[in-house]
Amino acid sequence: MKIAVLLGFIGFAVLQLAPAPYQIATAPVVTAQSVTSDPAVPQPVVAIVRRSCMDCHSYETRLPWYGKVAPSSWMLAKDVTEARAAMNLSDWGRKKAPVQAALAAAMCQGVQSGRMPKQRYVLLHPEAKLSPAEVQTFCAWSDAALASLTRSAPPRP
Ligand code: HEC
């Protein structure tokens, strides 16, 4: 029994030295580019994405302790890498209005369907779950973003 525990510890220690298959890229956060700085995004929506999305979908990842030890750190890094590739809210300000509107619509769909935030994240961060009212707030924003886009489109020749 003692041997098993010892071997377990050694295995765990060796794992920490193994090369990580995924690594969380660090990048300087340019606050002005972040979705949190966009005056067109209502504050309640900013609060929701900050709480429920930005750990994965931005450079502002807050790493929990299990994000620093293998092998959970690898799974976490994979999630964050893929999430940023799909949508990085730290780059929001670099996107054109139509892209932002499309992202807003995709975000609304994600929260409406319950696919986002990821179930495995909600298990560890119960506070990240959106209430039905918050889903509505979110989708009202994405609808408005799409609507303002069609309003501001140049008149057809
Ligand atoms: C645990 C990490 C994690 C969290 C938290 C998270 N996402 Fe994601 N998200 C991902 C990953 C990984 C992908 C990449 C593709 C996939 O697995 O669907 C993704 C993809 C997406 C996409 C791209 C297209 C799609 O629908 O698959 C959107 C939009 C999205 N997430 C919105 C959100 C929103 C909105 C929130 C917060 C309410 C959120 N996500 C929270 C990990 C996360």
- Mutation test of ligand 1: which of 41, 54, 57 has the most ligand atoms closer than 8 Å to its C-beta? 57
- Mutation test of ligand 1: which of 56, 89, 127 has the most ligand atoms closer than 8 Å to its C-beta? 56
Name the pLDDT band for 21 (thresholds 50, 70, 90): confident
Helix (H, G, I), strand (E, B) or coil at 104: helix
- Residue 62 has what pLDDT? 92
How does DSSP classify residue 3? H
- Residue 154 has what pLDDT? 65
Give 60 Cα–ligand 1 centroid separation in angstroms.
15
Give 70 Cα–ligand 1 centroid separation in angstroms.
23
- Residue 95 has what pLDDT? 95
Residues with C-beta less than 6 Å from any ligand 1 atom: 52-53, 55-57, 79, 82-83, 86-87, 106-107, 110-111, 116-118, 121
Of residues 117 and 17, the one with the higher pLDDT is 117
- Residue 81 has what pLDDT? 96
Give 32 Cα–ligand 1 centroid separation in angstroms.
22
Rounded Cα–Cα distance for residues 35 and 12 (Å): 39
The residue whose C-alpha atom lies closest to atom 2 belonging to ligand 1 is 56
Give 110 Cα–ligand 1 centroid separation in angstroms.
7
- Residue 155 has what pLDDT? 64
The gap from C-alpha 143 to its chain's centroid, in whole angstroms, comes to 21
- Residue 152 has what pLDDT? 65
Half-sphere exposure of 41 (CA within 13 A, CB side): 22
pLDDT tens digits for 42-90? 999 999 999 999 999 999 999 999 888 899 999 999 999 999 999 999 9
The residue whose C-alpha atom lies closest to atom 35 belonging to ligand 1 is 107
**Residue 117, class by beta-carbon neighbours within 10 Å (0-12 exposed, 13-18 middle, 19+ buried)?**
buried
Name the pLDDT band for 18 (thresholds 50, 70, 90): confident
Q: What letter represents residue 148's amino acid?
A: S
pTM: 0.91
Q: Tokens at residue 124, please?
A: 């560890």
Of residues 146 and 149, the one with the higher pLDDT is 146
For the four alpha carbons of 50, 23, 96 and 121, in that order, the dihedral sign comes to: negative
Question: Does residue 134 register a pLDDT over 70?
Answer: yes
Cβ 83 vs Cβ 89: under 8 Å: no
